[in-house]
Amino acid sequence: MELLQKAEEEKVVKYIIEGIKEKKGKGIVSIDLSKLENAVCRYFIICYGDSNTQVSAIANWVEKVMEDKRDEKVWRKQGFENAQWVLLDYVDIVIHIFQKEARDFYNLEGLWGDGYLRKFENEYINQKGLVYNE
């Protein structure tokens, strides 16, 4: 049963990463927290955008991807007011979308450094579905 759950979680993480890439999110990482005692969730996904407009666009697009592909609505969301740091909480997976300065300041990767960190290269998907590198 645990293997099925892990495979399903990985699929959801993949959908979220693809959604972030479609809106040109940068510095994308996932942190698997499932082996940590007292972790707040099973996964963090972290990225940043270059402006509050892009941060909001990434967050809105991830919500759409999750609704379209998983029929799942966000449980809690915060930060849309100024879009310095938008948080999308899907209970087991929490997505943090920052502006660069806020990401550097809060350093979530350092705070949760005991988790398994996976970096995703700056590949983007264009409207035709073709992957290209920045």
* Number of domains, the chain: 1
122-131: buried (b, 16+ CB within 10 Å) or exposed (e) per residue?
A: eebeeeeeee
Q: What's 58's domain CATH number? A: 3.30.460.10
Residue 107 above 60 pLDDT? yes
82, part of any domain? yes
134, part of any domain? no
131, part of any domain? no
Q: Kindly indicate the confidence band of residue 4, based on its pLDDT and cuts at 50, 70 and 90.
A: low
- Residue-number span of the structural domain to which 102 is assigned: 2-122
Question: Considering the chain, what percentage of its residues have pLDDT values greater than 90?
Answer: 70
- Would you give the end-to-end CA distance of the chain in angstroms? 39
- Tell me the per-residue pLDDT of 27-84, one tens digit each, with 9 for 90 and over: 999 999 989 988 889 999 999 999 999 999 999 999 999 999 999 999 999 999 999 9
Kindly provide the residue ranges of all beta strands, DSSP E only, lying in the chain, ordered along the sequence.
26-32, 43-49, 76-78, 85-89, 93-99, 116-119, 123-125, 131-133
H-helix or E-strand spanning residue 39: none
35, part of any domain? yes
Q: Provide CB contacts within 8 A for 111, sequence distance 6+.
A: none
132, part of any domain? no
Question: Considering the chain, what percentage of its residues have pLDDT values greater than 70?
Answer: 87
133, part of any domain? no
24, part of any domain? yes
Query: Which pLDDT belongs to residue 132?
Result: 42
Kindly report the pTM of this predicted structure.
Answer: 0.86
50, part of any domain? yes
